[in-house]
Structure 1
Amino acid sequence: MLNDKIYALGKKLYPLNRSITGKETLKSLKLIKKEIPRLKIKFIKSKIKIFDWVVPSEWNVKKAYVIDKFGKKIIDLKNHNLHLVGYSVPVKKKINKDQLLQKIYSLKKQRNAIPYVTSYYKKHWGFCTTHNQKKEIERNYKSKDKFSIVIDSSFNNKGKLNYGEVIIPGKEKKEILISTYICHPQMANNELSGPLVTTALVKYFFKKKNNKTLRFIFVPETIGSIAYIKKNLEYLKRYTIGGYVLSCIGDDKEYSLISTKYGNSNSDFAAIQAFKKLKINYKKYSFLERGSDERQFNSPGVDLPIASILRTKYGEYPEYHTSLDNFKLVTKKGLNGGFKVSKTAIENLLNYEIPFSKYLCEPKLQKKNLYNHISFKGKSKKFSRNLLNFLQYADGKNNLQKISKLIKLSGLETRRIWKILKKNKLVN
């Protein structure tokens, strides 16, 4: 369960101005490490090329505000981290009201919400306010009035992109990957719910004797997962049998599942079984409606069967990507609901027996006395055919339950065949 201590961790993490790089992101990882000491904090250097991307310069900001002609700060980063467009370049100048309004982002349909806006890969600057606040500036000042703009930010080309990793070894080298992200400032559901539930899962599974290895990563979204894949691709492809991205998993409204690319992986089945076991109604979204790091893990050439478990899906609740995404939206009850579903889905994956044939092409079953040496029309080959059918689907992607359905045999008969093949060292 997600206890009061982990919930309190969320309150500590909430005010930090995280981004895809920077000191506040590193500070967030260090706070998480206090709760799970096994967390290893690692980094990738800025300006390193990763596939079609380049790790950006490390960005930090000390202060950012707008001062009116009377010396009053009318917009101030200190009041809310979302007031500044993420990755804004340094600015120190005076501009008029019309120029200022062009640099302010607001939401007409959510007049009391500050929007979350970023510009990671193009030089830009700007501020975000509620629409009501923007309208006040429009009403209360003349076009010729001047405003002082101060953005004390910095970019370090020799900086770092930090991420966290916890590996809990199991009886097998086969792994389950759980990924969450740590790059959104001052938002509770779209940011902190994932790391909080993941922290609780690490603590829970660390106390268990697990059949398979568990790999938990805390990465900046998109660029962090791409960097992690670049660094670990060969190993991940060899050992990962499934897993989940955990995001927006702390409200107490809905439950959601975003499928893997083809929607038929062990990750999909394990999550569906978890919802059924817990008697929870949920919304199932196709991979075409993806939006987080399942995009990278399922991409061609990577092909890791990673689904996403959420409460209300990102973009489907009005507080998403605004200052209204706070701890009024995220509750202990909501977080614990997300924890239970994730835990149960992971336990299903841990318990799945996923055979993998040790040979390319069909093995010579005659050498094991599993196939008749005499080929004669009319002689029954049903048992040998069942063995070969099993081996065809023993590709590391199907659990015993799924193979049973594919080869149209009972669960008991499928398990008997699996034991025979294991005894003869034909599958793992």
Structure 2
Amino acid sequence: MHFCHANAASAKKYKDEIFNRFGGGVLLAIRKEISCYEVFSQNIDNNECVAVQISTQSGTLLICSLYIPPQIKISSRLFDQLLNINNNCLIMGDLNAASTLLGSRKTNSKGIQLQDLLNNTAFSCIDDNITTYERNNYEEKLDWILATRPIIFCINNVNTHMLLDTVSGHKPLTFDLMIMGDDKPPSPRIQFSFKLANWSLYRHILNEKLMQWDVNRKIVSTNDIDEYTTFISESIVAAARSAIPQSSGKVWALIRKYHNKRIKQKITSVLKYEQFEANSDLEKANMFATYFENDIYTSTPGTSALHIHVSEVVKKINKSISTSSINSQSFQAITPKELKLILKQLPYSAPGPDNVHNRCLRNFTKSLIDHLLNLMNASLRLGYVPSSWKTAFIILLLKPGKDRSQVSSYRPISLLS
């Protein structure tokens, strides 16, 4: 894990929200592919701190950015809270502390406080004698790298650099942290640049892929339907990959940024549901799933007129449908004309987990129509919906004026396969 190369465009930023005064402030920028989440962003005893928990191959690591104004004491309460979160802790920042015992040119009151902190806690510091602050003829070491054991032993190649386009101020510090961070799993979504699509090539490849299915095979079970659905979906996606360039989405992200077309929202670092709390991305996802399953998508006693009406309609449908009637093909089969009409009217919406875009369905071939008809009519005949069609990507939108920390404050939008 390297802290000596930063790219603002490829990093997630975590910072305090205090920008109404001159000086100070804390910020952390973590590469987007590194699995992490914010766990702490507070001002305790006027010590400003933001902390992010990073997943590593050997556990988790708490990384903190800290600023303590010149006339403010080092808060032992803050350090205690950080250690309570994670004993594997790394702190970087401007403490405005100077201590000759730790490499500074002189000792101030803050430096004495820092020495006491190191003597009475699990923290150690990088105690080189390189100055980190320069103004006129004054130079001093005021910025510090603190870490608990064994993290302190994983820090190598600490360097202090020249000022960046300024005549005075704090110098940049860089170092290598010899810990491997866990990369976030790649997104399963595929983004295509449809303006550059070669639709003739797409249809040609699609027909070749679909020819690999045994047309004499009978669809007689639910497993057959699921297998057939997967085959058709994979054929469409394979043809799209070959004929349509993929897009990273960076262009649209830039356009939205400057035209404010989409308001960026951020789920709070701690999510709450009843008496439970969630911190990591996985914990939050499971908490949302539990909430939607238990509190939203449940059969509750019907009191509203709409609920009563829907219940009556469902009862009538269930009463009119029997296994014998379905197997006797009493349903009306979907026709090619009906299917083509529906496909042509599909909106250009985002795909679900199967990555089958509606644009690809709208550019159908006769072979695709034949396969889709065979699949859909078999689904009606057997009374079974393909399992992959019941899965979805869930996008959460914060309701206006609601508390970000509560799961009930978010509205789910499903992107179905």
Instruction: Give TM-score, length-normalised by structure 1.
Output: 0.23
